[in-house]
């Protein structure tokens, strides 16, 4: 399993870096939109849709929405309209963690709201990633966002393995600890003060805004990971799919980005960074 994870990462990471660094934004969006349709397919498994045809239809609908969103002249406005409800979801979903699993066992989220939520999160994320890429110096800034999420995950793993004692959300993800989360956020702070300064060219007050935003986004990425784990437990599945050997499904790898990307873009717009 570990060898599969390493091999998959060694294949995907250079491809991601090359795409972000060398491809135009339209090509980046096209690849990410395809990934978005695959994520929607896996999300439909969390919805427990009863047939492959319905799951395919859901994935196709999300893909169509992404295409329409890209070509609409109101794309920038549409993104802002999506960012606000997406951010509200990530701010409020921790309220579900405290009562889990009893709360969602007694009152599971109906299929239609679950489907609309998946559409909102996937479309907001893909448009957010393309928005960052289209900025001046966008490829570097987008890589900063990706590596911010990687830092949160890596720091949490290392700190949790070395110092983890108190469970963060034992009913949702027993392996995650409070110490791990602190370690992940600490590594993100170091990344913001190094890579962030270079990617965004900030100093003085701008640096503090970027640091605060990065820590907020890092915390959001942890929430995104926990939220997907919560939905998987409700649905009775271990992995969202089997697309990535050793990693599970694509949704399993990008759950943190579903939270981080919209929160980052909304923060960049609000702070003017």
Report pLDDT for 238: 80
Q: Enumerate the β-bridge partners of residue 248.
A: 244
Q: What is the mean pLDDT of each run of 10 residues along the chain (273 residues)?
A: 59 88 96 95 90 93 94 84 95 92 87 94 96 96 96 92 88 92 96 94 93 96 94 84 64 92 96 88
Report pLDDT for 55: 93
Q: What percent of the chain has pLDDT over 70?
A: 94
> φ and ψ at 246, to 5 degrees?
85, -15
> φ and ψ at 219, to 5 degrees?
-65, -40
Contacts of 123 (CB under 8 A, 6+ apart): 36, 62, 65, 66, 69, 82
Asked whether the bond before 214 is cis by omega within 30 degrees of 0, the reply is no
Q: What is the pLDDT of residues 5-17, one digit of tens each?
A: 656 667 788 989 9
- The pair of three-digit structure tokens given for residue 208, joined into one six-digit string: 């503090």
Asked if 243 and 106 count as a contact pair (C-beta separation under 8 A), the reply is: no
- pTM to 2 decimals? 0.93
**In whole angstroms, what is the distance from residue 145 CA to residue 149 CA?**
7
Asked if 148 and 191 count as a contact pair (C-beta separation under 8 A), the reply is: yes
- The pair of three-digit structure tokens given for residue 164, joined into one six-digit string: 């983890």
Contacts of 100 (CB under 8 A, 6+ apart): 169, 171, 172, 230, 233
- The pair of three-digit structure tokens given for residue 266, joined into one six-digit string: 């909304």
- The pair of three-digit structure tokens given for residue 94, joined into one six-digit string: 């921790």
The H or E element that residue 225 is part of is helix 205-235
**In whole angstroms, what is the distance from residue 52 CA to residue 67 CA?**
22
């Amino acid at each position: 399993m570990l060898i599969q994870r390493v091999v998959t990462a060694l294949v995907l990471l250079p491809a991601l870096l090359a795409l972000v660094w060398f491809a135009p934004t339209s090509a980046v969006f096209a690849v990410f939109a395809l990934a978005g349709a695959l994520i929607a397919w896996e999300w439909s498994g969390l919805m427990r849709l009863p047939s492959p045809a319905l799951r395919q239809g859901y994935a196709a609908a999300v893909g169509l929405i992404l295409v329409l969103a890209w070509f609409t002249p109101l794309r920038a406005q549409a993104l802002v309209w999506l960012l606000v409800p997406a951010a509200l979801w990530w701010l409020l979903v921790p309220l579900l963690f405290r009562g889990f699993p009893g709360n969602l066992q007694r009152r599971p989220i109906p299929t239609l709201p679950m489907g609309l939520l998946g559409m909102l999160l996937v479309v907001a994320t893909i448009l957010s990633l393309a928005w960052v890429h289209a900025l001046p110096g966008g490829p570097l800034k987008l890589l900063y966002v990706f590596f911010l999420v990687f830092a949160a995950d890596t720091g949490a793993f290392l700190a949790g393995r070395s110092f983890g004692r108190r469970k963060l959300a034992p009913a949702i993800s027993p392996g995650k600890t409070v110490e791990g989360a602190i370690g992940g956020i600490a590594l993100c702070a170091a990344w913001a003060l190094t890579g962030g300064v270079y990617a965004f060219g900030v100093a003085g007050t701008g640096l503090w805004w970027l640091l605060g935003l990065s820590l907020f986004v890092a915390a959001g990425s942890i929430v995104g990971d926990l939220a997907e784990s919560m939905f998987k437990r409700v649905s009775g599945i271990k992995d969202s799919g089997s697309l990535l050997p050793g990693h599970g499904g694509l949704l399993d790898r990008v759950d943190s980005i579903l939270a981080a990307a919209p929160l980052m873009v909304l923060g960049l717009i609000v702070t003017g960074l």
